[in-house]
Amino acid sequence: MQRLNQATGWLVFLALLALLALALPASTFDSESKNFIFLIGAVGIWRYSMGATHFFRGMLFLYVVYPHLRRKVRKLGKAADPSHVFLMVTSFRIDALTTAQVYSSVIREAIDCGFPTTVVCSLVEMSDELLVKSLWEKMNPPEHVKLDFVRIAGTGKRDGLAFGFRAISRHLPDDRAVVAVIDGDTVLAEGVVRKTVPWFQLFGNVGGLTTNEFCEVRGGYIMSEWHKLRFAQRHINMCSMALSKRVLTMTGRMSVFRASVVTDPGFIADVESDSLQHWRLGRFKFLTGDDKSSWFSLMRLGYDTFYVPDAAINTVEHPPEKSFIKASRKLMFRWYGNNLRQNSRALGLGVRRLGLFTSIVLFDQRVSMWTSLLGLTVAIIATFKYGGAFILAYLLWIGITRLILTLLLSCSGHKIGPAYPLILYYNQIMGALVKIYVFFRLDQQSWTRQDTKLTRDLASFQRWFNTWSSRTMTFSAGSIFVAVLLMMV
């Protein structure tokens, strides 16, 4: 039945493309015509060349470089084994079923990996502690597997991580010990520990690495497909950046670090109390984005970062709203806010530290909010000025290119679906609008799982100034963007 639904979806999408093509005048497909649909401007060349570069770099890493590196790791044998493995899990306001799945997988990995292992549980609720103890007794780990509880006050994930890191510090781990930081909704696939820990002995300067993600979504079809598409895109981008050992985030769902990194007081301070001094909004602490803080700290401390594509985890996604539009917008607000807050200061580290390609990628993250809207805006302006054929030609172009991008995503090893082309375009437009909104409001942050927001004790004038200066700059930037395109068209 699922295959039949998939086939029907693809047929409907292709039929819509055919109808769009039939609705267009013949001159649209004439290469001598000024309306020729496949003419691409300088901005289009930039956007598609960045995407193509990521794709080819990702495929090169996934199918050529990584298999070669994996053979080198296997040759190390026992020499690549860590002295101790810490599996640290942070849990807060996650349902009991998901918590049981997560800790069962963590305890199983602690037993199966064969290394001396300590499971560190950073918990808020007593009910979670009782559940973990029950699972521990049921699975009955051997003596080389230990359990350590860290109780926190529920003041946020950053505090939970910092308390957990300090608890690990008290174990006095040596230079060959590693720490896996696991979110409370992440179920580990079998063998993930053994696939990740040897890389620290092959690469002496890698301070942290992250893993491939798949998901189970507790929501509707579109929300499920949206998350799966995101993880397929993430996989290719991670592979691309791993080619330079510059993976741009230490994913909070599961990342692995050298123990000497997470016990470094500077690293703990970066994760626990990261903040930004903004020229207009003043200084504010980061509420979310611990994965970006840990990445920036690694870069600042001089470490490299890596990605292990065949080490998989399965995340349990709980959409923050029943409505797809509302839920996706909330999640984008959090993700893109975390990204943009780290972006400018990351670029400040310089090309010598980051490398040329990484610097270009970070710069592209800043301009993509505008370039992503350029095609749609020009098509709308041209439609009002010259006729409806322009918007139809634009929609056909979007349909064809997003179909090609979807087919390319299948090379990642993640499954694709007929909704992907439409979701890709939704992400492009909605994502760009959310980025523009949050770019001028970097101090506004909130969690999606719990009702926690950043509160700042600002004077009334400062609050008024921040609010209205953000609105004014958003309106001014949007107006200039549209005005420039009106003159060009």
pTM listed for this prediction: 0.90
Q: Sort strands 178-183 and 85-90 into parallel, antiparallel or unpaired.
A: parallel
Three-state secondary structure of 339-396? HHHHHHHHHCCCHHHHCHHHHHHHHHHHHHHHHHHHHHHHHHHHHHHHCCHHHHHHHH
Of 256, 288, 253, give the one whose Cα is nearest residue 98: 253
pLDDT at 449: 60
Which residues contact residue 21 at a Cβ distance below 8 angstroms, ignoring those fewer than 6 apart? 396
pLDDT at 35: 45
Cross-strand pairs, 210: 255, 307
pLDDT at 308: 97
Length of the chain in residues, anyone? 489
Phi, psi of 162 (to 5 degrees): -65, -45
pLDDT at 39: 42
Map residue 203 onto helix, strand or coil: coil
Mark residue 28 as left, alpha or beta (left: phi above 0; alpha: psi -120 to 50; beta: remaining).
Answer: alpha
Name the E strands within 57-205.
Answer: 85-90, 117-123, 145-151, 178-183, 186-188
pLDDT at 192: 96
DSSP state of 301: T
pLDDT at 269: 93
pLDDT means over runs of 10, the chain (489 residues): 76 83 66 45 75 95 97 93 96 87 96 95 90 94 94 83 94 95 94 96 96 91 94 96 95 93 94 88 86 94 96 91 93 92 89 94 92 88 82 88 92 89 95 95 76 65 88 94 83
Cβ–Cβ under 8 Å, residues 337 and 445: yes
Cβ–Cβ under 8 Å, residues 213 and 27: no
Residue with tokens 């295959």: 3
Alpha carbon distance, N-terminus to C-terminus of the chain: 48
Cβ–Cβ under 8 Å, residues 140 and 193: no
Which string of b and e fits 204-223 if b means at least 16 CB within 10 Å? eebbbbbbbbbbebebeebb
pLDDT at 94: 85
Q: Sort strands 282-285 and 186-188 into parallel, antiparallel or unpaired.
A: unpaired
